Structure formats: structure tokens, C-alpha cells
Structure 1
């Protein structure tokens, strides 16, 4: 059996060489469908990897309290107006929540983005005005699942006494603080001098925005340096024991409703977002993209299978006399069918291989442009191999059967 397969593959390759242009066109047709499928699945895989990495930074047992839920709700009226405008989470409300929320095994954190366009100076050097400054407390780093590469985190003493200390992102070691030990160095932000006490580990970028070009400073100092109206504060709560997460969220809702002075009949005017639910909801969007990829791929591949079947039927017609000679020499129907079937499989797999290479290349280019975390899409490759095999299987079945059923006498008369 192995020798028969080997012989049929040789015959198939020989046939491919004699009909090179037709074979190349067939391979290209198949490759187009596989390329469409693999490239989209590659981008989707990179997107999923990026989203999982970025949103997992919130921590598995963390939930946040914010002004709205994940999406803005739109009314059913003719103007499509927002159903309800929730008030911002003000500083008094945020601090009131933290003082009243005392559920066991939880740590609440308060923070806000002071600016996304700060200029930071060190000695005679300075950055472009692109640094994000965050006002944080001592629980912000662990609640955000951030890790320190060097130095230490803020202490309660630092926050309570408004010490002029800061923790900076890893990119500072590549730029402003390059070739120096950053711990203990003094940075200037809006004229205020901050001593560097810690360096965060690298986090990468989120949709083009670097997470490593940021400075964390005590929240009260941030409020005094960056005064602006209607600041919306962020509250995050980490639960040490996962089994207590649901109960901790229920308690947080009760406390926040009291802080917002809501009566029991009112709908809550704030959002509670669990980190695991956030990841799942975001990743569900990629499911739609995956479905679209398969739909586009299947439509294209369907056209490829029809083209491959027609080309193989033409090949059977052109090689009718050859089939007659082989049958006259004793070749069985199964041998003839297997020969043409093998030829179809070889062409299909060549088309699949070209499609996989092109698809991964195109997908990786899009991933790089969109700043996604590219990973080799093994599932897409497996799907492409299986799909190209199925295409060849379906397309080659009828031509192979037709070739095997040719009458040897009539085939020998064919000119």
C-alpha cells in the first residue's frame, strides 16, 4: 500500500509539471480562500491575546466601580438619547466609600488620571509632553496586578503624609533615566520634585498607548498639581479569596448606593465591573470576528472547490487514452481512482501551504500595524490544513470515480 501511495504521488507530481500553468492557477484559487481564512484568524488570535493580556492586568479577583457599565446605553426614542446620565464619582464619594466599605479580605483603591500629556524632567534632560501621570494610593499597584521591577511600592505613610515620591514605568530606563540607577533619582513634574522609589515591570502598549510611559504619585499631590473640574475617580477592590467575590460585590453595591444617597426604588447610577466578566465580554466580540472569518473563508473556498473539480474533470478528459492504456495493462478501477484522488490531494495541500504562509504573513502585518500581540495561530493553521484537505476530498471524488469507470476500449479509441 505504501509503495502504491508513493507511486501515485510521483505520477501526481509528474502530471502537475506537465500542466504547470493550470496547476498554478488552481493552487492560487485554493490559496486565496485559505489566505482569507488564516489572515483573519491570525488577526483575531492576536487581538484576543492583546485583550487577555491587557485586561488580565486588573487581576482575577478584582472589580471596579465606575460611572457607567461597559457600554453606553441608548434609549429607544426617536432621538436615540441616553436613557440615564449617571453622575461622576467625585472625590468625597470615593473617599466616603473607602471609609465605609470594610468587607473582610478586601482592599479598596482610589486613583485618577491627572494628565496624559505631562513633561517630566531629570537634570538637563526632559521627555516629550506624552507622559501619563496618575494619582494613586498604596493599594493601586497590587489591585492593578502591576509588578515592580526595582524598588518598592508606596506605603500608607507616603500617601498620608503626601511624600514627594513616585513610581515610574519601565520606559524611563530606556530614555530619561538610561544608564543610571533610577532609584533615588529626582524627577521634576510641573515644578515639583519627586524622588523615584520604584520601577514598574514592562506592560507594553494597549492599542498604541504605552503603559510604560507613566508616573504614579500620591493622590493628594496629584490633586493639588493638576486641578481640574469634574474629575471622575476610579475605585477598584481586590478580594483575597475568590469565593468571596460575589458577596464582596453585593456589599459594595449596598455601600455605594448609600454613598450616592439612592433610595431602594431607584436603579443604581453607577457601574460594577468584574475583571473576569470584562475579559469574557470583550473576547465575545472576537467570536463574531471568528465567525466572519469562517464565513468569508467558506464562501471563497467553495469557489475554489468548484474550480478544482472542473480542472480535474478536464484532466480526466485529456488523459482518457492514458487511462485506457493503464486499464488494458491490468490497472484496477480503485488504482485509477486513487491516482486521480492523490493528484487532487497534492494540489489541495500545495494550495493550503501557500495560503497558510500568505495568511500568517498578512495577519502578522495587520497585527503589527494595529499594535496587537502576535502569536503563531496554531488553530488557524490546523483549520487551514483540514479545510484544504476537505476541499481536495470533495473536489477530487467525482473526477476520480469518473476516471475509474471509463471503458478501456472506448478510452483507447479516444483521440
Structure 2
């Protein structure tokens, strides 16, 4: 049995070499579809995994009051979207002071710069450090944790203390492995004592969130005085049963602070953290469906191309089939010979497509500087697709070859 199977494989390989150009074209057709399937799935999985990991620390009990909602559509037959005014310092302070909903806490932050040069006595960073001004609740609301030290206290913020929290990359770049707690660093000539080191987060779309410094909000406002700074508000609700009522109260308060009349629409957005994850998952699902549709089209097109090649092969090798049958070859032997040939061609296309698809996924991961994982799900899906192609296109030629009459086949010219 094994000897016969080995012989069929050998004959199939010889036949593939004999019609090399047609085989290459068919392999390319199969590979294009498999490449799209594996490339899209691996890239989408890498992106969604990174985004979900970024949102997972926040939890589902936090919502944000921000300048825009997640999505906003033009209304009234093609009118342009309204440009919402920024959320300024006065508004966030009023919100922070007046939002008294039980079992909640308000976080406030703004990005002062993303191009800061941070110095110590003997070292300095490149001008690519993020400096953010925050209040005492920002870190907890954002799911930020410490690896060493302590968080800001309410006294640090109210007294405008010159203290800071630094990202894990800052520890290595400025202090070279030495414990930075209690050390001093300089931001635009202002001295800050390091009280805590943030847990490592990694890069997201090429931006390292570990290369950052958090300082009290009013201290950041004193150092960075540019106009039209937009602030971000976050509200953590400690009891999820009060999430809806807490959001409603935030909307009412923010409308009052913004001076909106009852007939005016909101000129700000309320976004819950699980909505962000849900949107990411929806986009990922849509792209996965697109990859599946591409694979279905691939199955159809590749099956037709491969079936045509195999039917032509049966016709060209009619005399050979007659000789083999005259020498005692069974129908099953003949059909297996052609089916194995079909299977090999489809697997060649699958291997090429998987390799190219993984290169695309790796390229996307490298471009966005996110971790690349071997897309096992996509590889398994591609293998299944190639097997389906082999079955769909190999059965009819195999059956046709097996049913040939040996006498008529020997007469074939």
C-alpha cells in the first residue's frame, strides 16, 4: 500500500513538472487568495490584540467626557460636521468641583508636549518624551499601575508639588538601572522629584507610552502655556449599577458648564471604555469577514482553474491511463493518482500563500511597532481552504480518469 502511494506521488510530481507553466499559474491563483486570507487575519489579529491590551487595563467602569464622541455623522442632508469647542481648564475645574455623584471619582489630564527633553545632572533624553499634567485620580481611572514608589496624593495636586511619575523607559535612559526614586530631573529648568515608576506598557502604533512623565496639572500649566489646550475628563464609577445614572448626570452638568440651551445638541462626547473595545472588535470582525469572502472567491476561482488543468491532463494522458489499466491498474489507483496530483498543486499554492501572508502580517506589525505573533488561526484556515480546493477540483478529473475504457484509451491519439 505504501509502495503504491509512493509511486502515485512520484507520478504526480513528474506530471506537475511536465506542465510546469500551467501549474505555476494555478499555484499563483491559489496563493493570491491564501495570501489575502492569512495577511488580513494576521494583521487584524495583531492590531486588535494590541488595542484590546491597551484598553483592558482601564476596565468597563470608566467613561470619558471629551471633545468629540467616538463617531459623529453629518446631519441634515450633507451639512458639514460641527466643530466642537475644546474642553478648557475652566470647564474641567468646574466639572471636577461640581460633579458630586456618589461612588465616583473624576480624573483630569492634558498632554503638555510630546517633544520634551528631560535632564538629570549628567544625562538627558532625546526631545521625544511625553509630558502630561494630571490630577490625583487620572492614573487609577486610566488603569495605570506602579512598579515602584507611590501615586500622586491629593496634597501633591492641591499644593502643586514638584513631584513626578516616570515611565519605565525613562528609568533606563536617565538612571541606567539605578533606583530613581527620590532622584531629581529637570523639565524646562524646573526640578521635579521622582516619587514613582509606571509599569511597562510597550509601544502602540510606533509610540512608546513608557517614555513619559506625569506631573501635577497646575505645574504643567505653569511650564507649558500654549493657548487652546484641550483637557480630558474621565469618571470612574465604583458600582456598575450606577453607570447609566452617572453618565446622565455628567451630560447634564457638562451641558450646563458649556452653556447649552435645551434645544441645542451636545457639543462634547461621552465614551465608555468598553465601547472602545466593542468598536475595535466590530472593525476586526468586518475585516475577518472580508478575508473569509476573499477566501470563498479564491476557492471558486482556484477550483475552476485547477479542475480545468486536471481535465486537460486527463485528456492528454488518456493513452497512459489505458496502458496502466491494461497492465492491471485498478480504478481506485488511477483516481488516487490524479487526486494526489491535484492535492499537491493546491498545497503548493497554500504554502506560498501562507508565507506571503505571514510576511504581510509581519510588515504591518513592524510598521506599527507592535508585537507579531504567528497567526495559527489563519494558517489553519488557509490549510482548510487549500484542502477544500483540492476536493472541489480533484474529484471530477479523478472520476473521469478512473472511468476511461482501457481499449478506447489505448486507441486514443
Using the size of structure 1 for normalisation, the TM-score is: 0.91
Other-structure match for 1:366: 364
For 1:203-242, list aligned pairs within 5 A. Answer: 203-242=201-240
Task: Please state if 1:282 is matched with 2:280.
Answer: yes
SS in 2 for 1:65: strand
Query: Gaps (5+ residues) in structure 2?
Result: none
Q: Using a 3 Å threshold, how does the CA distance of structure 1 residues 303 and 22 change in structure 2: closer, same or farther?
A: farther
List structure 1 runs of 4+ shifted beyond 6 angstroms: none
Other-structure match for 2:342: 344
SS in 2 for 1:162: coil
**Can you list the C-alpha shifts for 1:99-158, whole angstroms capped at 9, x where unaligned?**
222223222101111112211111122112211110111111111111211111111121
Kindly indicate whether the alpha-carbon contact (under 8 Å) linking 1:108 and 1:238 is maintained by their aligned counterparts in 2. Answer: yes
SS in 2 for 1:176: helix
Kindly indicate whether the alpha-carbon contact (under 8 Å) linking 2:114 and 2:129 is maintained by their aligned counterparts in 1. Answer: yes
Kindly indicate whether the alpha-carbon contact (under 8 Å) linking 2:12 and 2:337 is maintained by their aligned counterparts in 1. Answer: no
Kindly indicate whether the alpha-carbon contact (under 8 Å) linking 1:9 and 1:343 is maintained by their aligned counterparts in 2. Answer: no
Kindly indicate whether the alpha-carbon contact (under 8 Å) linking 2:65 and 2:270 is maintained by their aligned counterparts in 1. Answer: yes
Within 1, Cα distance between the matches of 2:228 and 2:29? 58
Task: Please state if 1:265 is matched with 2:258.
Answer: no
Within 1, Cα distance between the matches of 2:247 and 2:18? 66
Query: Gaps (5+ residues) in structure 1?
Result: none
For 1:152-163, list aligned pairs within 5 A. Answer: 152-163=150-161
Kindly indicate whether the alpha-carbon contact (under 8 Å) linking 1:34 and 1:301 is maintained by their aligned counterparts in 2. Answer: no
Task: Please state if 1:70 is matched with 2:70.
Answer: yes
**Can you list the C-alpha shifts for 1:75-94, whole angstroms capped at 9, x where unaligned?**
5566x532x33222222221
Other-structure match for 1:200: 198
Displacement after TM superposition at 1:32 (Å): 3.0
SS in 1 for 2:174: coil
Displacement after TM superposition at 1:9 (Å): 5.6
Kindly indicate whether the alpha-carbon contact (under 8 Å) linking 1:114 and 1:226 is maintained by their aligned counterparts in 2. Answer: yes
SS in 1 for 2:306: helix
Within 1, Cα distance between the matches of 2:326 and 2:11? 21
Other-structure match for 1:7: 4
Q: 2:97 aligns with which of 90, 96, 99?
A: 99
Question: Aligned-residue CA RMSD in angstroms?
Answer: 2.3
Kindly indicate whether the alpha-carbon contact (under 8 Å) linking 2:12 and 2:338 is maintained by their aligned counterparts in 1. Answer: no
Within 2, Cα distance between the matches of 1:159 and 1:10? 80
Other-structure match for 1:32: 32
Displacement after TM superposition at 1:296 (Å): 4.2
Other-structure match for 1:48: 48
Displacement after TM superposition at 1:27 (Å): 3.4
Kindly indicate whether the alpha-carbon contact (under 8 Å) linking 1:172 and 1:213 is maintained by their aligned counterparts in 2. Answer: yes
Tell me the number of residue pairs that the alignment of Structure 1 and Structure 2 aligns: 410
Kindly indicate whether the alpha-carbon contact (under 8 Å) linking 1:12 and 1:340 is maintained by their aligned counterparts in 2. Answer: no
**Stretch of structure 1 that moved more, 361-370 or 192-201:** 361-370
**Can you list the C-alpha shifts for 1:248-280, whole angstroms capped at 9, x where unaligned?**
212221222232233333222210001111122
Q: 1:117 aligns with which of 111, 115, 118?
A: 115
Q: Using a 3 Å threshold, how does the CA distance of structure 1 residues 258 and 229 change in structure 2: closer, same or farther?
A: same
